[in-house]
């Protein structure tokens, strides 16, 4: 069994390196400013693959996420939380929560009467999120209910949230999965509910895009090798980002799900967000 896992991991790492080399070699031909996605191998978006990937990265993901965003990750999360008008006592769902980093920005806003649910597919990420939640509870914050589940098959009730927020999780979904995700967000939001979904993106300017992708594809895996032991898992972050492009690629899926949606850009397009709301039920 251990041997099978090792072989699978080695195969995945070799394919990640080959895919990353293909993306990096084509950086000088990068098409910028549009809404088209590049392609990554379909199994990279398989829920089991994604879960295992983030399980393996859980111990060091927070550090690498901070470094790969040049320290902007915290600021962008704060902007993501403030892009919608969250009142005290709101019911909030944090999708693809990771280690509940976005909850750090949410909890002071909702106060001790709020209700925050954090959902992630990775058991290890959820474990870290629960540890953080326990710490916050001792500091008088509202309790964060951490749910391990696939966001594409959300085990939460229809219309049960006022807001849906997410940071840096969209890129791990293929276009058909984005359509499912948009429908799930529309389902769990109450009429009039709002959402704000943030993602690392490929800048529209070639002047920024080429060095930025070089940084993701080459420098971040090197940091993984020098300090964290495994560069191949972190190589996947560049692959996902390059394939995703920016939030414009998901805009149509959210509109098709009945959500009023616009795109916001942060720091010259190095991060983008989908922000909008679910229309109120028409009065009959």
The fraction of the chain above a pLDDT of 70, given in percent, is 83
| Band of residue 4 on the pLDDT scale cut at 50, 70, 90 | very low
21 dihedral zone (left: phi>0; alpha: psi -120 to 50; beta)? alpha
Query: What is the structure's pLDDT at 55?
Result: 94
Q: Looking at mean pLDDT, say which of 74-78, 182-186, 232-236 comes out highest.
A: 182-186
Long-range contacts of 224-232 (CB under 8 A, 24+ apart): 224/60, 224/64, 227/60, 228/60, 228/63, 228/64, 230/56, 232/12, 232/13, 232/16, 232/17
Give the pLDDT confidence of 90-104 residue by residue, as tens digits. 999 999 999 999 999
Q: What is the pLDDT of residue 1?
A: 44
Higher pLDDT, 23 or 264: 264
Per-residue pLDDT, 212: 83
pLDDT of residue 36: 65
For residue 8, pLDDT beyond 90:
no
> Helix count (H) and strand count (E) of the chain?
11, 7
CATH fold of the domain at 44-277: Rossmann fold (3.40.50)
Sign of the Cα pseudo-torsion (197, 159, 155, 133, in order): positive
Q: Which tokens hold the place of 74?
A: 């915290």
- Give residue-wise pLDDT tens across range 12-48: 555 555 555 554 444 434 444 457 677 688 899 999 9
Q: Are the C-beta atoms of 233 and 38 separated by less than 8 Å?
A: no
For the segment 222-243, the average pLDDT, to the nearest whole number, is 79
Is the pTM higher than 0.75?
yes
**Residue 16 — left, alpha, or beta (φ > 0 → left; ψ -120 to 50 → alpha)?**
alpha
Confidence of residue 62 (pLDDT cuts 50, 70, 90): confident
> pLDDT by residue (tens digit) across 185-217?
999 999 999 999 999 999 988 888 888 888 888
């Amino acid at each position: 069994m251990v041997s099978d896992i090792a072989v699978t991991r080695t195969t995945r790492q070799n394919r990640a390196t080959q895919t990353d080399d293909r993306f990096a070699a084509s950086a000088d031909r990068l098409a910028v400013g549009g809404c088209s996605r590049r392609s990554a191998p379909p199994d990279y978006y398989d829920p089991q693959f994604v879960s295992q990937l983030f399980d393996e990265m859980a111990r060091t993901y927070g550090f690498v996420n901070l470094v790969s965003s040049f320290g902007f990750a915290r600021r962008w999360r704060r902007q993501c939380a403030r892009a919608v008008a969250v009142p005290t006592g709101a019911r909030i769902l944090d999708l693809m929560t990771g280690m509940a980093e976005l909850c750090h920005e949410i909890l002071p806003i909702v106060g001790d009467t709020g209700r925050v649910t954090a959902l992630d597919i990775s058991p290890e990420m959820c474990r870290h999120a629960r540890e953080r939640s326990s710490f916050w509870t001792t500091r008088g914050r509202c309790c964060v209910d951490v749910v391990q589940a696939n966001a594409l098959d959300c085990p939460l009730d229809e219309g049960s949230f006022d807001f849906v927020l997410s940071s840096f999780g969209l890129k791990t979904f293929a276009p058909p999965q984005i359509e499912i995700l948009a429908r799930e967000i529309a389902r769990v939001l109450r009429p009039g509910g709002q959402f704000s979904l943030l993602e690392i993106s490929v800048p529209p300017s070639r002047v920024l895009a080429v060095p930025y992708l070089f940084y993701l594809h080459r420098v971040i895996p090197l940091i993984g090798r020098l300090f964290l032991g495994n560069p191949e898992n972190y190589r996947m972050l560049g692959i996902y980002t390059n394939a995703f492009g920016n939030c414009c690629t998901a805009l149509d899926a959210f509109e098709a799900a009945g959500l009023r949606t616009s795109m916001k850009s942060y720091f010259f397009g190095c991060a983008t967000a989908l922000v909008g709301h679910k229309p109120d039920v028409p009065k009959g």
